[in-house]
Amino acid sequence: MKRALPFLLLGLPLAASAQRYVTEVFTPDQVVITPGVSYGQNVDFLTSNLADPDVPADLGFLQMTVSQGNPIPPEYFNPLDTSTAVKVADLKMDIYEPDQAVDTETARPMVLYLHTGNALPPGYPGNGSPTGRRTDSTAVEICKQLAQRGYVAVSMSYRLGWNPLGTTLEVRRGTLLNAIYRAIHDVRQCIRTHKAVAANGGNTYAINPDKIVVLGEGTGGYIALANATLDQASELFIEKFVPDPLNNPGVSYIDTNAVGNLDGFNGQLTLYRPNGFDYETQFCVNLGGALADTSWMEVGDVPMVACHTVFDPYAPFTEGTVIVPTTGEEVVPVQGSNFFVALANTYGNNASFATLPAGDPFTDRARSLYGQVVDGVQISANPEGLFPMVRPHWAPPAGDEASPWQWWDPTSPDALDVIPGLNITCHQASLASNPDMSGAKGRAYIDTIMGYINPRIVCELQLGLCSLVSIDENSSVAQGVDLFPNPAADRVTISSTEAAIVSYEVYDVNGRLVRTASVNAKQAVIERQGLQAGAYSVQLRFAEGTVTRKLMLD
């Protein structure tokens, strides 16, 4: 990976320098936003009338049209046009990036952001909140902050629609599971599209297709986690996914013959087609939400980092049942961040950042809560990658908080929409789980989220120096470090008089990792072995933290 790193900073301790992807290295004016880019087209379940007798004819026409590479006629995109029963969604994304006129990096990691919204649009019965768009305040702020740190951030829309007002558990569960499954297809289509553009389309947005993070908030957290773990068709037949597990264990709520396989292909109700690229990603972040089932997890899954309020009333912190926010009706049992992040560590999936040294306020705060009991909630003993957020228990009519990072305009049409049956606005309903909502509060929590997740992304994706804490330069450990000869021609010896060196990493002037090795001794030799002449940064890791030194090769 290349990155813009001022040469003069290479000789400074890490804590004193701005590190791309961890801190903001671009100004707000240097962030370019490209809105409304299409990434795919597929059947819109929210606006289609799938009970209409014309559905088979519509689907047959659409399948033929897509297979022949022809454009879908406009009447299929217009919900008000009654000439077709099946409607199609043209799915869009907004792309936030550092201005390529000032950014010298040409292969930038991409973060795909999935918004919240209860899998329904704002104002739709069952959502009950002013949020649920790719342009939510939280979505925009997070994507802007990621772009200022050097990422390409993509806020994508995905297909919505289920029946939270269903009178039976089977209806609520079946329609929600299918909604999440369709959204997974949309995520995978979006990723395939970006990879195709990177390979065949001139890499318009200068991404690295091998360094992709999926970050989901609320409902988007459910989708991000499912996308990271659902990789076997048999996983659609676990007990909670089967309406009648005793008599018909082979019948799932999700009919892949109708809605498509795990890729989103080969179903009567899906229009996606292979483009020659995969949907593999390298990292998963969830802000709230939950995992459908930990049986989906296995050794080798992507790392999982979570920020989750301990008393989340909607998505369980440890495990419990998803409920409909507007009615309180049960939907499906799931596992929360406190549960699955601990399991990710057991499987070794979070190993790349599990031993990051303490000392920064975000890591210290998270770890200070590990193993603690907070108002009756037992936090796991060592869930590296989990930031438990503790918010107060508010007095009625307010309740516990789910998303302190959210805020919205109380005067917007979405906020003023009245919830049927409750006779309160979506703004009033949402204040129940975020009573002191404000932009300042939301941004403060997003700052915490950025401070916690980004160093861990850097470690896993090898985007730069994998460290949070530098040892004080006046300490005996730092004073006892020497590199000689320096400048060097063929090899350089690293020595430490005070403490054993755990490992070292060598980065070139562009921030690329060019050499790494475990040491576990007080001395090591770095062989040149083809390294070009110039300046390098050597990061030495000790049990107490890290020491960074400048190295010159002749």
Residue in 498, 495, 490 with CA at minimum distance from that of residue 538:
495
Measuring CA to CA, which residue among 486, 499, 498, 497 is closest to residue 526?
486
Q: Based on the domain organization, do 451 and 540 belong to the same domain?
A: no
Show which of 461, 491, 509 is a domain's final residue: 461
Question: In this predicted model, what pLDDT tens digit does every residue of 188-207 receive, in sequence order?
Answer: 999 999 999 999 978 999 99
What pLDDT does residue 511 have? 56
Residue 432 near residue 398 (C-beta atoms within 8 A) = yes
| Contact assessment for residue 324 and residue 164, using Cβ atoms and an 8 Å cutoff | yes
Whether the per-residue pLDDT at 11 is higher than 70: the answer is no
Of 426, 461, 496, which residue sits at a domain end? 461
Percent of the chain with pLDDT over 90: 81
Q: Tens digits of per-residue pLDDT, 148-202?
A: 999 999 999 999 999 999 999 999 999 999 999 999 999 999 999 999 999 997 8
Q: Is pLDDT of 90 > 60?
A: yes
Q: What's the rounded Cα separation, in Å, for the pair 423 and 444?
A: 32
So what's the pLDDT on residue 156? 99
Domain shared by 310 and 383, yes or no: yes
Structurally, the chain folds into a number of domains equal to 2
Same domain? For 451 and 494 the reply is no
**Which of 405, 431, 461 is the last residue in one of the domains?**
461
Average pLDDT over residues 296-307: 98
Residue 393, pLDDT score? 86
115 and 158 in one domain?
yes
CATH number for the domain spanning 524: value is 2.60.40.3080
| CA 475/CA 122 separation, integer angstroms | 55
**What is the Cα–Cα distance from 416 to 429, expressed in whole angstroms?**
10
pLDDT at 99 over 80: yes
Asked, for residue 58, whether it belongs to a domain, the answer is: no
Q: Is 247 exposed, middle or buried (0-12, 13-18, 19+ CB in 10 A)?
A: exposed
Q: What is d(CA 455, CA 474) in angstroms, rounded to the nearest whole number?
A: 25
Q: Residue 31: inside a domain, yes or no?
A: yes
Is the pLDDT assigned to residue 12 strictly greater than 70? no
CA distance 396 to 432: 8
pLDDT value, residue 121: 94
What is the structure's pLDDT at 422? Answer: 84
C-beta of residue 507 within 8 angstroms of C-beta of residue 464: yes
Same structural domain for residues 454 and 482? Answer: no
Q: State the chain's mean pLDDT as an integer.
A: 92
Taking CA 238 as the corner, what is the angle to CA 169 and CA 274, rounded to the nearest 5 degrees? 100
Is 363:385 a contact under the CB 8 Å cutoff? no
- State the pLDDT at residue 16: 34
pLDDT for 19 beyond 70: yes
Check which CATH number belongs to the domain holding 240 and give it: 3.40.50
Same domain? For 362 and 482 the reply is no
User: Can you tell me whether residue 191 is helix, strand or coil?
Assistant: helix
Clarify whether residues 314 and 290 are in a common domain: yes
Average the pLDDT over 91-100 and give the result: 99
Residue 289 tokens read as: 């939400």
Residues 180 and 156 in one domain: yes
**pLDDT beyond 60 at 425:** yes
Residue 379 covered by a domain: yes
The predicted structure's pLDDT at residue 381: 96
- What is the band of 2 on the pLDDT scale with cuts at 50, 70, 90? very low
Whether 3 has a pLDDT exceeding 80, the answer reads no
Which pLDDT belongs to residue 460? 95
**Could you tell me if residue 409 is inside a domain?**
no
Structure tokens at 524: 């090591």
Which of 218, 161, 222, 152 has its CA nearest to residue 187?
222
Residue 12 inside a domain? The answer is no
Give the list of residues 6+ apart from residue 356 with CB closer than 8 angstroms, or none. 363, 455, 456, 459, 466, 467, 468
* Within a domain: 300: yes
Q: What is the mean pLDDT of residues 536-554?
A: 85
Q: Which domain holds residue 145?
A: 20-47+87-395+443-461
Q: Is residue 485 a contact partner of residue 478, using CB atoms and an 8 Å limit?
A: no
Q: Are 29 and 92 in a shared domain?
A: yes
- Predicted TM-score of the model (pTM): 0.84
Kindly state the percentage of the chain with pLDDT values over 70: 95
> Tell me, what's the pLDDT at 10?
31
As a whole number of angstroms, the distance between CA 266 and CA 270 comes to: 7
In this structure, are 100 and 194 located in the same domain?
A: yes
Query: For residue 17, is pLDDT > 50?
Result: no
Give tens-digit pLDDT for 512-544: 678 889 899 999 999 999 999 998 889 888 877
Please check whether residues 126 and 243 belong to one and the same domain: yes
Q: Is 184 found in the same domain as 138? A: yes
Q: For 357-374, write each residue's pLDDT tens digit.
A: 877 889 999 999 999 999
pLDDT digits (tens, 9 = 90+) for 50-76: 999 999 999 999 999 999 999 999 999
Structure tokens at 370: 């590990």
